[in-house]
Amino acid sequence: MRKFAIHVLLLGSLTAVLFAQTAGKQASNADLDAVLTAMDKTAANFKSAEADFVWVLYEKVVDSSDTQKGKIYFRRAGNQIQMAAEITDPESEHKNVLYDGKKLRLYQPKIDQVTEYDTTKNRSTVESFLVLGFGGRGHDLQNSFDVTFEGTENVMGVNASKLDLVPKSAKGKSFFSHILLWIDPARGVSVQQQFFEPNGNYRLAKYSDIKLNQNISADVFKLKTTGRTKVVNPGGF
């Protein structure tokens, strides 16, 4: 009888643990679905976004980081989200980045050169990184990533939902081993991102003064090159 009672007690404890784990997983799945649904709602009416950014670029080999500041813009063009960024920090080299859905261009005025990458072969993969958290449907993330809800964190005064994204494709994993994404659930957009490369490098991006669906000049999405600008094509992604 005593052994039977011990077995019953152990079985009850195991059942309680399994129930708690199941309940926790269900709650996490519900939280994840709520965040992705908020992003879906924002995407349904998304026209544009602009924000100030701070990028921290860390290199593991030399154990050092570089901080860049500027403005970033997104707009919907048909079924695509286009992106333009300008590094305006006087302590960093002035650069412009433009993604039009087909090509990614980096303009360095200091040397008057545009480095141009063709993204058509891997457009969905490249686009999922470049415009992540701004205008895309939340549930579409699950097409390219295994997405896990990691709780909430305060990011610059926003009680942000933290998501961990692991690329599903080998191509995606060659770019980043995983990505942390902090979403403002009230607006359905990203307030912080951290991209981890397989070699240990990472890029931390923080966004502030975010404005949604305001008019953005078309000139923002044009590189202000000169008649002598050199164009370099190292190949595609």
The pair of structure tokens assigned to 165 is 């994204």
Q: What is the CATH class of 6-236?
A: mainly beta
Within 10 angstroms of residue 147's Cβ, the number of other Cβ atoms is 19
d(CA 42, CA 72): 18
Convert the pLDDT of each residue in 88-107 to its tens digit: 887 788 999 999 888 999 99
Convert the pLDDT of each residue in 105-156 to its tens digit: 999 999 999 999 988 887 777 777 788 899 999 999 999 999 999 999 999 9
d(CA 14, CA 19): 8
d(CA 85, CA 104): 11
Instruction: Check pLDDT > 50 for residue 18.
Output: no
Radius of gyration of the chain from its Cα atoms, rounded to whole angstroms: 22
User: Do residues 233 and 215 lie in contact, with contact meaning Cβ atoms separated by under 8 Å?
Assistant: no
- Kindly indicate the confidence band of residue 19, based on its pLDDT and cuts at 50, 70 and 90: very low
Convert the pLDDT of each residue in 174-218 to its tens digit: 989 999 999 999 999 999 999 999 999 999 999 999 999 999 999
Any bridge partners for residue 209, and if so which? none
